[in-house]
Each structure stands twice: as C-alpha cells, then as structure tokens.
C-alpha cells in the first residue's frame, strides 16, 4: 500500500463495475486488506447476490477500528523501537 493506493483501487473498481456479472471477493479479488472473516463474508454475500439479493460487498470491512494508519514519521519511530527491543 502506498499513498496513491486509494486512487489506484478506484480505477480498478470503476473497470470491474462495467461488468454486470462479475463480483470480486476476498483480499486478492478486492485488492484490500481483509481478515479471514471479512474475506469469507464477501464470498457469502457475492453468492447471495448471484441468487438475486443485492449486497454491496465493498461495504464489508470499512470500519476504521480494523485498520492501522501511520504517518511516515510514526512508522519510522515504530521501526526504531522494534529494532531497539531486539538487542
């Protein structure tokens, strides 16, 4: 992931949405970090969509509590602390 990740992902999503009969699921299919539960849930909802339901699988795992976000400085400080603790 990099700072342009969101924009790049939107390009992919826009292309995928041009297909009426294509649903992508899980980490690799959605190009996003999901834990195993989220990945399975997207697959289940996609299967239900095939059966006629209308679920937005992109709404799975949008809670900020599941994501860690660091500034470059915070990331470097975290790495330094980890390196010091290994000694």
Q: What is the mean pLDDT of residues 50-74?
A: 73
Mean pLDDT across the stretch 68-77?
68
Query: Is residue 44's pLDDT more than 50?
Result: yes
% of the chain beyond a pLDDT of 90? 18
Q: What is the three-class DSSP state of 26?
A: helix
Instruction: Specify the 3-state DSSP secondary structure of 51.
Output: coil
Contacts of 60 (CB under 8 A, 6+ apart): 34, 38, 41, 42, 45
- For the stretch 21-42, pLDDT in tens is 888 888 778 877 777 888 888 8
Residue 86 DSSP class: H
Question: What average pLDDT is seen over the chain?
Answer: 79
């Amino acid at each position: 992931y990099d700072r342009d990740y969101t924009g790049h992902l939107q390009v992919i999503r826009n292309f995928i949405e041009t297909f009426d009969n294509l649903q992508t699921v899980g980490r690799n299919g959605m190009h996003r970090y999901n834990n195993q539960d989220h990945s399975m849930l997207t697959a289940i909802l996609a299967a239900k969509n095939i059966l006629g339901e209308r679920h937005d699988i992109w709404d799975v795992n949008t809670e900020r509590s599941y994501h860690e976000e660091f500034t470059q400085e915070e990331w470097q400080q975290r790495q330094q602390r980890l390196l010091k603790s290994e000694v």
